[in-house]
Structures are given as C-alpha cells and as structure tokens.
C-alpha cells in the first residue's frame, strides 16, 4: 500500500522540479535523511536491535516535502520532519499506532515556529520547456511572487483557473497543479489505497465552513 503511494507521488515530484527547479530534489533528500534517521533512532530505543524503518516514513517524508514552499531553508525542513516523525508517530509506537499524520504535525510546527519562511516569500514557477528540470532554482528576484490567496486578499485579483489547473502559480511544491493532484487521487482510489469518502468529506467540510465564514 505504501509503495503504491510512493509511486503515485513520483509524477508530482517530477512536475514540481519542472516548476521550481532541482532544489526540490535536494530538499527531498534532506527531509528523507532526517526522517529515516530519526525514526530509526527512536524505534531502536524502543525495540532495540530489532528496530525497523517502515516504508511509511518515506511516504511521510515525501508528503511533508510537497507541503513546503520551494525556498524553505534545509534546516527548517529538517526540524519539521524530525518533529513530525518523533512526536507525531514514533512516540505512539510507530507505524499503524499513530493518531496524527506525521507530515502534517511537522508542517504545523514549522508554520507556527518559523512563519516568515512559510508565508512571506514564494518562488515564481518556471515557464516553458525544460523549465526547472535543468536549473537549480529560480532567481532571487523572482522569489517574491504572491500565491493566489495572498494576491486576492491584498488586491482582490483572482488568478485564472487555467493557471491554477496546470500549476502556473506560486505555492508549495505539491499544491499548485490541480489537475495532476486530481489524477493522483483517482489513481489511489482505483487502487483502493485511498477512500473517496474521506476525500469528498474533506472537500464538503471545507466548502461548507468556508461558505459560512464568508457570510
């Protein structure tokens, strides 16, 4: 099951690299190293020499990376995933026993602790081929682009649906390409790895609560 999720996330990462550059891979490598090592050390302290690292930690690391802005400092990403794996998963006994999503726990920590890195600077995505597939990152001058939500709150400007569908907007590494996210979701439902009921309930909950807040 975890392996299918890993396979499904590979296209998302490839497209994230195209949009935001090869720095995405370095960020993923840092998160993977910190996540795997932290889970191993904690589980070793619990289970001794029989400690094993599950494939689930790879999924957590990948999902966590995709929630990050492209310019997130490596040390901030490392702190976030270590906290998420240790306090969101390992302290409950490891895989299958945790009550929280480790990736979200880590993301919450750095969002609260380092808000300037998570909410202020957003990298403008590359356009055209080969995009970021052959470049490390966009220029520093371009790292001030606003996300559609920030732009709307400041100016009332609404980004085009086309840009939001293919990912031509600023945002976190894995959140901008709506069409790709939907396709991955459908794939996971077909493979019976994800529940369509959970997805629909989240969407309905967001829609209802958002509509109530607007009123």
CB 118 within 8 A of CB 111: yes
Q: Are 199 and 185 in contact (CB under 8 A)?
A: yes
164 has pLDDT over 80: no
Position 100 pLDDT exceeds 60? yes
Range of 33-42, 154-163, 167-176 with top mean pLDDT: 33-42
For the cut 50, the answer to whether the pLDDT of residue 161 exceeds it is: yes
* pTM reported for the whole predicted model: 0.84
Ranges 1-15, 107-121, 160-174, most confident: 1-15
Domain boundaries, the chain: 2-214
In Å, what is the CA distance from 38 to each residue of 53, 152, 202? 10, 39, 30
The lowest-confidence range among 67-71, 76-80, 159-163 is: 159-163
pLDDT (0 to 100) of residue 193: 86
Q: How far is CA 123 from CA 12, 144, 165, 189, in A?
A: 17, 6, 18, 32
Structure-block tokens of residue 151: 């732009």
């Amino acid at each position: 099951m975890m392996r299918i999720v890993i396979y499904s996330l590979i296209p998302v990462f490839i497209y994230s690299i195209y949009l935001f550059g090869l720095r995405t891979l370095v960020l993923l490598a840092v998160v993977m190293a910190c996540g795997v090592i932290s889970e191993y050390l904690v589980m070793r302290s619990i289970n001794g020499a029989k400690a094993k690292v599950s494939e689930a930690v790879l999924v957590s690391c990948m999902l966590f990376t995709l929630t990050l802005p492209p310019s997130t400092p490596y040390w901030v990403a490392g702190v976030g995933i270590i906290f998420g794996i240790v306090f969101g998963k390992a302290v409950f006994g490891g895989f299958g026993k945790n009550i929280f999503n480790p990736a979200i726990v880590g993301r919450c920590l750095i969002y609260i602790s380092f808000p300037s890195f998570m909410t202020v600077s957003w990298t403008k995505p590359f356009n055209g081929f080969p995009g970021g597939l052959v470049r490390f990152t966009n220029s520093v001058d371009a790292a001030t682009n606003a996300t559609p939500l920030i732009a709307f709150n400041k100016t009332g400007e609404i980004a085009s649906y086309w840009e939001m569908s293919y990912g031509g907007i600023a945002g976190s590494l894995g959140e901008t390409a709506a069409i790709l996210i939907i396709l991955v979701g459908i794939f996971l439902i077909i493979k019976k790895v994800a529940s369509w009921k959970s997805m629909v309930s989240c969407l309905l909950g967001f829609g209802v609560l958002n509509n109530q807040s607007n009123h």
